[in-house]
């Protein structure tokens, strides 16, 4: 079954330009999958209110490109996107990383129904959607990375998702402004490995990615960074 792409002629060039500016390698098939996902989001959003952003051009920047900004910083083969909502960033990342497996977790039934439809229509065999509260999800094996995009505070993310992460794994928290106060509330036993400033073409607002892991020496106090300790122009 052929993919249904958006009718707006400017969306494909906008996506192409953004991914090229971010130095993302992609195939024509992946570009079409991203656009087909965008069309699904546009269509379902009319009835299901999946996102407050209605303008398709803004969706390209604030949903697709924003999600893809973390591509250079992904780690591991088995990842979970908690509080995924409409599949952001999980679906764009699954499209671009067919060799990795993504679990998309959300407690909202209408959103997981959309995720099921998107998975089937886009032919994403490396993705599974699960309707559950994060604290109730019990995977058969822990994940290499726990990813979130404005899901909750970093301290709550670490606390609620600790059972999902394997011993060597990382939390990847996507944020807007650098979350200084949130980092100071992260409990003992965790450390900030990196803080990347992300550049998203066409988006003026700040974007940061915090990488957090378990601290093997929790009794040794480490300073909370007061500014990003790693940068990316991708």
Domain at 139, CATH number: 3.40.50.150
Provide the number of structural domains found in the chain: 1
Inside any domain, residue 224: no
Inside any domain, residue 51: yes
Inside any domain, residue 1: no
The maximal CA–CA distance of the chain, rounded, in angstroms, is 57
Inside any domain, residue 185: yes
For residue 202, give the 3-state DSSP assignment: coil
Domain span at 29: 11-217
Inside any domain, residue 229: no
Q: Residue 149 and residue 176: Cα distance in Å, rounded? A: 9
Q: Residue 107 and residue 130: Cα distance in Å, rounded? A: 8
Inside any domain, residue 212: yes
Inside any domain, residue 233: no
Between the two ends of the chain, the Cα-to-Cα distance in Å is 34
Inside any domain, residue 5: no
Residue 200 DSSP code = -
Task: Per-residue pLDDT tens, the chain, 234 aa: give them.
Answer: 789 999 999 999 999 999 999 999 999 999 999 999 999 999 999 999 899 999 999 999 999 999 999 999 999 999 999 999 999 999 999 999 999 999 999 999 999 999 999 999 999 999 999 999 999 999 999 999 999 997 889 999 999 999 999 999 999 999 999 999 999 899 889 999 999 999 999 999 899 999 999 998 766 555 555 555 554 433
Kindly state the helix (H) or strand (E) to which residue 157 belongs, with its residue range: helix 154-161
């Amino acid at each position: 079954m052929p993919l249904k792409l958006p009718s707006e002629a400017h969306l494909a060039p906008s996506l192409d330009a953004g991914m090229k500016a971010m130095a993302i390698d992609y195939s024509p098939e992946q570009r079409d999958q991203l656009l087909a996902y965008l069309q699904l989001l546009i269509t379902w959003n009319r009835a299901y209110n999946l996102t407050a952003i209605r303008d398709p051009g803004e969706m390209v920047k604030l949903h697709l490109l924003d999600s893809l900004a973390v591509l250079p910083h992904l780690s591991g083969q088995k990842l979970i996107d908690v509080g995924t909502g409409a599949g952001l960033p999980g679906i764009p990342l699954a499209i671009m990383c067919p060799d990795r497996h993504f679990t998309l977790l959300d407690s909202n039934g209408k959103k997981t129904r959309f995720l099921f439809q998107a998975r089937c229509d886009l032919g994403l065999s490396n993705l599974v959607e699960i309707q559950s509260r994060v604290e109730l999800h019990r995977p058969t094996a822990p994940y290499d990375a726990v990813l979130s995009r404005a899901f909750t505070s970093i301290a709550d993310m670490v606390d609620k998702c600790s059972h999902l992460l394997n011993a060597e794994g990382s939390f990847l928290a996507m944020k807007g402004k650098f979350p200084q106060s949130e980092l100071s509330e992260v409990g003992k036993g965790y450390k900030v490995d990196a803080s990347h400033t992300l550049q998203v073409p066409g988006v003026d607002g700040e974007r940061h990615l915090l990488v957090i892991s378990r601290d093997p020496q929790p009794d040794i106090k480490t300073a909370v960074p007061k500014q990003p300790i790693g940068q990316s122009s991708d």
